[in-house]
Amino acid sequence: MGSAGGNRAVSETAGVAVLVLLTVSVTAAVGLSVIFAADSGPPEADFSFEQIGDRVLITHDGGDEFSASNLVISGPDGELTWAENAEVEPSTAVGPGDATQIGPPSPYGSRLRADDYIQIRYAPGEGNQTVLAERGQRDSPVDVNA
């Protein structure tokens, strides 16, 4: 009888040790995945604006890559997507080194002055939009998420 009770104690101790080890392992795995997870913050990119006569050359200088249909170019006479202005497929990737020109004869069409406000924003369909770059001063505040 004495030896059967001793085996039971060893089995219970081993079971508790396995459960503790399993709990620690799962907690460590979840903790590490949170610590080392990729940053899913807002997109970031640098754009430059170069005035060329009555047109503006917009260049993606660095940062995240975007679908051309998700980049919106706003100027004093309206807005359109990068895809519409550059006349490329909506799924075309826009990354560092890519450029488009707004003003005549592009689809944007309107002449642009050096002091005209231009905005580039990331607009992934429904939901929040992120302003990526601006040139000039806006005359009045505009809520891009309205």
Instruction: Say yes or no: 107 and 61 in one domain.
Output: yes
Spell out the residues 6+ positions from residue 31 whose beta carbon is closer than 8 angstroms to its own: none
* Residue 18, both tokens: 């396995």
Could you tell me if 104 and 124 lie in one domain?
yes
One domain, residues 59 and 25: no
Does some domain include residue 140? no
Q: Which domain holds residue 72?
A: 45-135
- Shared-domain flag, residues 2 and 71: no
Coil, strand or helix at 144: coil
Instruction: Indicate whether 18 and 78 sit together in one domain.
Output: no
For the chain, what is the domain count? 2
Specify whether 4 is located in the same domain as 65: no
Q: What tens digit of pLDDT does each residue of 71-122 get? A: 999 999 999 999 999 999 999 999 999 999 999 999 998 999 999 999 999 9
pLDDT the model gives residue 36: 66
pTM over 0.95: no
Token representation of residue 60: 């993606």
What is the C-alpha to C-alpha distance for residues 119 and 73, in angstroms, rounded to an integer? 6
Render 110-130 in DSSP notation, one character per residue: S---TT--EEEEE--SSS--E
Q: Residues 127, 67: one domain? A: yes
Contact 50, 56 (CB under 8 A): yes
Percent of the chain with pLDDT over 90: 60
Q: Are residues 84 and 14 in the same domain?
A: no
